[in-house]
Amino acid sequence: MKKIILLLIAIVSLSSCSSNDDDASSLNIIIGTWQLKSNLENGKERTTDCTRKSTLTFSENGNGSQIGYNENYDGNGNAICENDYNGTFTWKNTNATTYEINQDGQNILVDLTFSQNNTIFSTTSTETYNGTTYTDTSIYIKI
């Protein structure tokens, strides 16, 4: 679950603003609120009904916010869905599908793949840890 939160933070740092008004509609397709639909780690689904409440919001002014949900357990072992992260970031579109996100002083470049009608985006990252490669794919749907 921690990897999901970190990935959400990375994605939240996404961005898009255009100084060219002619390109604004194509470059700013990220503007709006997006809800987590799926997170796959090496092809295995990691989301729950709770984590799928998490959202990313990209504003026209280059600011953004993230609301993250995660399941925590009470003393009796019952899962409780809780809002466990609220954060802000800035974003800038560097080309049609690459976004630069700045959160807490860290700049991250993220490549997104948009659906044909621009209502779904996905991003994939790969990390090697102790000789094992992990591939994470997150999918968001515009709400």
Closest Cα to residue 39, out of 124, 126, 132, 118?
A: 124
Structure tokens, 10: 């990375």
**Structure confidence at residue 89 (pLDDT):** 96
C-alpha to C-alpha distance for 32 and 59, rounded to whole angstroms: 6
**Structure confidence at residue 3 (pLDDT):** 42
**Structure confidence at residue 140 (pLDDT):** 97
123 in Cβ contact with 39 (< 8 Å): no
Closest Cα to residue 6, out of 99, 113, 127?
A: 127
Cβ-based neighbours of 74, under 8 Å, separated by 6 or more: 80
Burial (CB count within 10 angstroms: exposed 0-12, middle 13-18, buried 19+), residue 119: middle
**Structure confidence at residue 20 (pLDDT):** 44
Cβ-based neighbours of 107, under 8 Å, separated by 6 or more: 13, 100, 101
**Structure confidence at residue 109 (pLDDT):** 92
Per-residue pLDDT of the chain (143 residues; tens, 9 = 90+): 444 444 444 454 333 333 444 444 455 899 999 999 999 999 999 999 999 999 999 999 999 999 999 999 988 989 999 999 999 999 999 988 899 999 988 999 999 999 999 999 999 999 999 999 999 999 999 99
71 in Cβ contact with 63 (< 8 Å): no
